[in-house]
């Protein structure tokens, strides 16, 4: 019998039946289809016009969330540039299956927010683990703050909580007042209920016209949408918060630095960035060390239906922006993933680990091929440059599990549990940066250029990206 997780933990099965695998693939293909988002956007706009409403963006702020600290700084500029109203919601953090590794997430978010803020032109002071007493007081102050004052208060309150600045809260309480715990709890519950009704779970989220946008990293999608609707207060040539570019120069390494690339075979984010990350590593001359891990659901990290659907729809949007044709998907969860990983010894002997994983991801996410079929797996292996006679003898054999578990433990050691994750190491194997997400490869590139610039004094400051505070 196929092993399954409880329905509240997620819709995926470890080893689904052929029928269920087909049904899941059909559903997720619909989610990945760019036409679906266009339909949602067009339907939402028709309904807004029919109601005669203004453009209303709902924003869900979590006071102890570093990403909310960054997102709050964007709202003033957005209001000044676009014909929008912002409706504020105070929310608690994710919980249950929506937050499987809360301690890792909190630590990662603090370091990540500090690192990426300068890339978006935002400020982020050194952050600390928030104290519950400061958080509760900040929630009372936010509750007492009228709507018109929340643009300023949200950033200041989050900064005070995340830097442990009780004196700043004293000043904010004098300025905005302080509600009761009961009133603050009611506001939190209302925000959580609204977020749940709209099928999400996280803080730092923007919702507009049926679609979610996470933090500053996805604001460029919202901006492009508002620009297409001509919802502008003044002409605009570019987004206020574009994704920082992925740099491949001006400097190159000579394999003295190592890029660890943690990837799995069922991750849509891995699929859309895999070949780009490999090509980038080769272009800039770093040594690439591909470290595969099991997909999260196969190692007991559950995801709710809302989270799973958001991840796939967001990956489709990101892929479209990158010009990657993600969307012909056939779910490889379970046995197909294990069978492919069982070929790693053969691939490693031939120096084809990267090629094997690339070929598998292409079949599952771009070609819609069922890797549960032996003939498909044979094509995957042969396309990667492997001998099928050698691969078929290794197929299904154990011996790869310990390596993947060691990779998982290494990833958890730097507060990452999801993929793709990247770690750039210096000549001694010390980490220069460790980060998670296909939308963080640009960050690794900036660290690389700064590191190489420290060796090469002939490069002018104008040729380099801004000096970001990456080191931990």
CA distances from 265 to 30, 140, 179, 277, 379 (A): 20, 45, 49, 15, 16
Rounded to an integer, the average pLDDT of 66-83 is: 97
Share of the chain above pLDDT 90, in %: 81
pLDDT level of residue 235 (50, 70, 90 thresholds): confident
Rounded to an integer, the average pLDDT of 255-265 is: 98
Q: Which string of DSSP letters, residue by residue, matches 302-344? A: ---HHHHHHHHHHHHHHHHHHT---------TTHHHHHHHTTH
Domains and CATH numbers, the chain: 53-228 (3.40.30.10), 258-455 (3.40.30.10)
pLDDT tens by residue, 362-394: 999 999 999 999 999 999 999 999 999 999 999
CA-CA distance, 85 to 90, in Å (whole number)?
A: 16
Q: Please name every residue paired with 259 in a beta bridge, in sequence order, or none if there are none.
A: 288, 424
**Is the pLDDT score of 73 beyond 60?**
yes
Share of the chain above pLDDT 70, in %: 94
pLDDT level of residue 460 (50, 70, 90 thresholds): low
Rounded to an integer, the average pLDDT of 322-338 is: 92
The pLDDT value recorded for residue 375 is 97
pLDDT tens by residue, 198-214: 999 999 999 999 999 99
CA-CA distance, 453 to 388, in Å (whole number)?
A: 45
Q: Which string of DSSP letters, residue by residue, matches 286-298? A: PEEEEEE---GGG
**Is the pLDDT score of 459 beyond 70?**
no
CA distances from 238 to 218, 227, 243, 371 (A): 15, 9, 11, 42
User: Nearest Cα to 466, choosing from 112, 151, 118?
Assistant: 118
pLDDT level of residue 462 (50, 70, 90 thresholds): low
For residue 214, report the phi and psi dihedrals to the nearest 5 degrees: -90, 115
The pLDDT value recorded for residue 461 is 55
Tell me the pTM: 0.91
pLDDT tens by residue, 6-65: 333 333 457 899 999 999 999 999 888 888 888 999 999 999 999 999 999 999 999 999
pLDDT level of residue 2 (50, 70, 90 thresholds): very low
Structure tokens at 170: 């004293």
Rounded to an integer, the average pLDDT of 343-351 is: 97
SS3 call for 466: coil
Contact 87, 116 (CB under 8 A): no
pLDDT tens by residue, 154-207: 999 999 999 999 999 999 999 999 999 999 999 999 999 999 999 999 999 999
The pLDDT value recorded for residue 3 is 36
Summary mean pLDDT of the chain: 92
């Amino acid at each position: 019998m196929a092993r399954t997780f409880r329905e509240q933990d997620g819709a995926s099965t470890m080893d689904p039946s052929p029928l269920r695998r087909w049904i899941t693939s059909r559903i997720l293909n619909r989610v990945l289809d760019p036409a679906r988002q266009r339909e949602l956007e067009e339907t939402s706009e028709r309904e807004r016009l029919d109601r005669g409403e203004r453009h209303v963006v709902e924003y869900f702020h979590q006071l102890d969330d570093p990403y909310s600290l960054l997102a709050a700084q964007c709202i003033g500029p957005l209001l000044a540039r676009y014909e929008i109203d912002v409706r504020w919601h105070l929310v608690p953090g994710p919980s249950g299956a929506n937050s499987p590794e809360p301690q890792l997430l909190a630590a990662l978010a603090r370091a990540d927010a500090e690192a990426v803020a300068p890339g978006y032109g935002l400020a982020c002071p050194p952050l600390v683990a928030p104290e519950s007493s400061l958080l509760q007081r900040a929630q009372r102050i936010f509750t007492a703050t009228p709507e018109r004052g929340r643009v300023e208060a949200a950033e200041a309150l989050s900064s005070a909580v995340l830097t442990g600045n009780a004196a700043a809260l004293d000043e904010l309480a004098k300025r905005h007042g302080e509600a009761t715990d009961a009133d603050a709890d009611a506001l939190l519950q209302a925000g959580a209920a609204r977020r749940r009704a709209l099928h999400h779970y996280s803080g730092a989220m923007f919702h507009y016209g049926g679609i979610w946008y996470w933090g500053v990293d996805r604001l460029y999608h919202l901006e492009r949408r508002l620009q297409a609707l001509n919802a502008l207060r003044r002409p605009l040539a570019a987004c206020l918060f574009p994704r920082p570019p992925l740099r491949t120069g001006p400097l190159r390494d000579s394999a003295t630095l190592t890029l660890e690339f943690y990837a799995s075979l069922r991750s849509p984010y891995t699929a859309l960035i895999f070949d780009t990350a490999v090509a980038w590593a080769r272009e800039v001359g770093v040594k690439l060390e591909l470290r595969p891990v099991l997909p999260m659901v196969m190692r007991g990290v559950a995801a709710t239906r809302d989270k799973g659907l958001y991840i796939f729809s967001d990956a489709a949007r990101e892929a479209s922006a990158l010009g990657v044709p993600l969307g012909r998907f056939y779910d490889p969860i379970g046995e197909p993933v294990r069978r492919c990983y069982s070929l790693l010894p053969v691939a490693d002997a031939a120096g084809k680990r990267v090629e094997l994983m690339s070929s598998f991801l292409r079949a599952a996410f771009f070609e819609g091929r069922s890797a549960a079929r032996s003939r498909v797996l044979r094509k995957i292996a042969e396309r990667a440059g492997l001998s099928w006679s050698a691969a078929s003898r290794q197929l299904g054999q154990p011996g790869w599990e310990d390596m993947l578990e060691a990779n998982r433990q290494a990833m958890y050691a730097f507060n990452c549990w999801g993929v793709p994750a990247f770690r750039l190491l210096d000549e001694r194997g010390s980490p220069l940066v460790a980060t998670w997400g296909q939308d963080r490869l640009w960050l690794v590139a900036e660290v690389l250029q700064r590191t190489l610039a420290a060796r090469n004094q002939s490069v002018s400051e104008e040729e380099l990206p801004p000096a970001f505070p990456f080191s931990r």
